[in-house]
Amino acid sequence: MQNDNLFAALRAAFPRDLDAVAVETDDGLAYSWRDLDRATAMLANLLGSLGLAEGARVAVQVEKSVEAMLLYLATLRAGYVFLPLNTAYQQAEIAYFIENAEPAVVVTTPKNFGWVSRIAFQAGTRHVFTLGDDRTGTLLDRASHCSDQQQPAVKGIDDLAAILYTSGTTGRSKGAMLSHGNLLSNARVLKDYWGWVPGDVLIHALPIFHVHGLFVALHGALLNGSQMLWLNKFDPRKVIERLPRATVFMGVPTLYTRMLAEPALTREAASHMRLFISGSAPLLIETFNDWQARTGHTILERYGMSETIMLTSNPYRAQDGERRGGTVGFPLPGVGVRVRDDAGQPVPTGEIGGIQVSGPNVFKGYWRMPEKTKEEFTEDGWFKTGDVGRIDERGYVTIVGRSKDLIISGGYNVYPAEIEGFINEMPGVAESALVGVPHPDFGEVGVAVVIPKPGAQLDGEALIATLKTQLANFKIPKKCFVVAELPRNTMGKVQKNLLREQYKGLFA
Ligand code: MCA
Ligand code: AMP
């Protein structure tokens, strides 16, 4: 019987020599392909032994590790839905995700077991396991008693494989539902488009709780049967040390600017590499040029979303065109990208409008939010990205901005509405606005502007300290100003563009 389970396709791509090294960690451990096969079978059998319902979610908030990656693959193998959660999320955020997704299984760190299991059990989750980043925890203990043989669950292309939460521009996060077909079709297109060849070696330095590290980097290597040099945490010097033994690296712009700050990054160090890919946030033309001048490599920039995985990419092969800094390249083969004005009408070539996308890479909708999902698609079924851009006469797509109120900081999305909501709840606060300003390291960071209630005394630093106890660290405003009033337009709406202008030099 045809099995469209993504895991089956990845497993089929394992090299014949299963004893070859698949993953090498920076603390000297080597995992063979056979290890990957056996460990994912044991973990899949553990999940299979729990009597979970069809479509059950497995929510995972653990530090990056090879075992965390194996748990992802095992969840696919067992036919359940993987739900990765950023390790920076704190109690209020986790409580929301668990209440919204109702996972049958939650895997957390040994340190967080206390508060996470309380939230999970209260929400009806019956299985909570722990997994440390040092191969400790109850998950591996339990799996060690399971068989290392397992037939991947039969899944169809439209069956759910993962849910990725991508916060709503207003209010709470939305769970983007991605199918086995979404993920596999995109992985196959990228394998060819980015010229993966036998012998490629990937340096994996991204988190594995978002699309870039979990799908684009991981599937790229696995679908090519390629070895990975694995870093649980990004460190510029460790990446540079590994360049002579690798061929492919993927990162967000911050990773590139941090490596450029290292003298060890030389043309010589990068000479064995074949491809550097950047995405998740705008790559500054300065960074693009500096990288080319320093290493001789032209970074390939691509554009993706949790809802669509990758939708455009600069070309890899010269015959497909040049890689143009400041653009995100062409729509990927099989993916439709178009620009529409506010009335939904086509705009002339080169004109700016809302970017829309259609194709097998586009998600199935937001988890239990049919109305919200409907709003984000056009009548003829194209997904509205919320990004603003243009397509020029040569077909290159350029993102010029966002219609959604979004800050992308070091590659992570920060939604002002969520942070403003927390600030507005604080005693003495009448109103707040969070805006993004340029930052040399993270590209863009949030700055909060707060209005006190009449007679209230507010201290910006104290507000930030309180926020740190409530929200993921990357969401915390880097500065908080207390002012008497906010600029408003005639409709009374806060003019965030004026605030961005006022504070744009803060971190120059
Ligand atoms: C860490 N900090 C940050 C960020 N990361 N502040 C703002 N933005 C950030 N992204 C702060 C922490 O709050 C902390 O501040 C201090 O930096 C040190 O924390 P640490 O965790 O040690 O930071 P780091 O190791 O330096 O992390 C920086 C990083 C990380 C390596 C750039 O942010 C990262 O791995 N980013 C990649 C995100 C990613 O994978 N994006 C893909 C999304 P304090 O000390 O004050 O607490 S997928 C996507 O966007 C689409 C689908 C696509 O196209 O790929
Ligand atoms: P996420 O919500 O994590 O899926 O992030 C998707 C958003 O990241 C997109 O809607 C874009 O705004 C942004 N993005 C992704 N890749 C790029 C890129 N290469 N350049 C600029 N923005 C990007």
DSSP secondary structure letters along 59-93: EEE----HHHHHHHHHHHHHT-EEEE--TT--HHH
Can you give the pLDDT at residue 171?
62
From 164, 206, 254, 507, the mutation candidate for ligand 1 (largest count of ligand atoms within 8 A of CB) is 254
Cβ atoms < 10 Å from Cβ of 156: 12
Nearest residue to 233 (alpha-carbon basis) of 210, 205, 209: 205
Lowest mean per-residue pLDDT among 263-277, 283-297, 492-506: 492-506
Q: Best substitution site from 252, 471, 479 to test ligand 1's pocket, by max atoms within 8 Å of Cβ?
A: 252
- Given the CA of residue 252, which atom of ligand 1 is nearest to it? 37
pLDDT digits (tens, 9 = 90+) for 298-356: 999 999 999 999 999 999 999 999 999 999 999 999 999 999 999 999 999 999 999 99
What is the model's pLDDT at position 1? 76
Whose atoms come closest to the Cα of 473: which ligand?
Answer: 1
User: What is the whole-number distance in angstroms between the Cα of residue 91 and the centre of ligand 1?
Assistant: 19
Residue 176 has pLDDT above 90, yes or no: yes
DSSP 245: G
Percent residues over pLDDT 90 in the chain: 95
pLDDT at 490: 86
**Which CATH superfamily, name and number, covers 406-503?**
ANL, C-terminal domain (3.30.300.30)
The protein residue with its alpha carbon nearest to ligand 2, atom 15, reads 280
Question: Relative to the alpha carbon of 232, which ligand is closest?
Answer: 1
* Residues whose beta carbon lies within 6 Å of some atom of ligand 2: 166, 211, 279-282, 301, 303-306, 328, 385, 387, 399, 402, 408, 413
CA 306 to ligand 2 centroid distance, Å: 9
How many C-beta neighbours within 10 Å does residue 311 have?
A: 28
User: Ligand 1 pocket: which of 183, 442, 471 to mutate (most atoms <8 Å of CB)?
Assistant: 442
Q: Would you call 34 helix, strand, or coil by DSSP?
A: helix
From 36, 24, 412, 61, select the one nearest 231 (Cα to Cα).
24
Share of the chain above pLDDT 70, in %: 99
Residue 493: pLDDT above 90? no
Q: Is residue 280 within 6 Å of ligand 1 at its C-beta?
A: yes
Query: 30, 24 in Cβ contact below 8 A?
Result: yes
- 410 sits in the region (left: phi over 0; alpha: psi -120 to 50; else beta) called left
Task: Report helix, strand or coil for 407.
Answer: strand
In the prediction, which pLDDT does 402 show?
A: 86
pLDDT tens, 359-409? 999 999 999 999 999 999 999 999 999 999 999 999 999 999 888 788 999
Strands 397-402 and 407-409: unpaired
Task: Write out the two tokens for 305.
Answer: 């979303």
- In tens, the pLDDT along 187-198 reads 999 999 999 999
Report, as an integer, the average pLDDT of 57-79.
Answer: 98
Give the residue among 100, 144, 147, 149 at the shortest CA–CA distance from 125. Answer: 100
168: confidence class by pLDDT, cuts 50, 70, 90: low
Q: What CA–CA distance (Å, rounded) separates 269 from 405?
A: 40
User: Quick check: 170 pLDDT over 80?
Assistant: no
Distance of CA 139 to the CA centre of its chain: 24
Q: How far is the CA of 367 from the centre of ligand 1 (A)?
A: 26
pLDDT score at 167: 74
* Tokens encoding 429: 């606060």
Nearest alpha carbon, ligand 1 atom 31: 234
Distance between CA atoms of 211 and 166, rounded to whole angstroms?
A: 10
When the pLDDT of each residue in the chain is averaged and rounded to a whole number, the result is: 96
pLDDT tens digit string along 199-246? 999 999 999 999 999 999 999 999 999 999 999 999 999 999 999 999
Residue 197 CB: number of other CB atoms within 10 A?
11
Measured in Å, residue 304 CA sits from the centre of ligand 2 at 6
- pLDDT for position 492: 86
Distance 341 CA to ligand 1 centre (A): 33
CATH architecture under which domain 300-404 falls = Roll (2.30)
Phi, psi of 322 (to 5 degrees): -90, 155
Superfamily for the 6-182+191-218 domain: ANL, N-terminal domain (3.40.50.12780)
* Model pLDDT, residue 282: 96
pLDDT of 403 reads: 81
Backbone phi, psi, residue 366, to 5°:
-90, 140
Whether the pLDDT of residue 253 is over 90: the answer is yes
Model pLDDT for residues 12-44, shown as the tens digit of each residue: 999 999 999 999 999 999 999 999 999 999 999
pLDDT band at 172 (very low <50, low <70, confident <90, very high): confident
Q: Is the CB of 412 within 6 Å of ligand 1? A: yes
| CA 436–ligand 1 middle distance (angstroms) | 15
Domain extents for the chain?
Answer: 6-182+191-218, 300-404, 406-503
| pLDDT one-digit tens code per residue, 266-285 | 999 999 999 999 999 999 99
The predicted structure's pLDDT at residue 23: 98
Burial status of residue 505 (CB atoms within 10 A of its CB: 0-12, 13-18, 19 or more): exposed
Give the ligand at the shortest distance from the Cα of 215: 1
Q: What is the pLDDT of residue 405?
A: 83
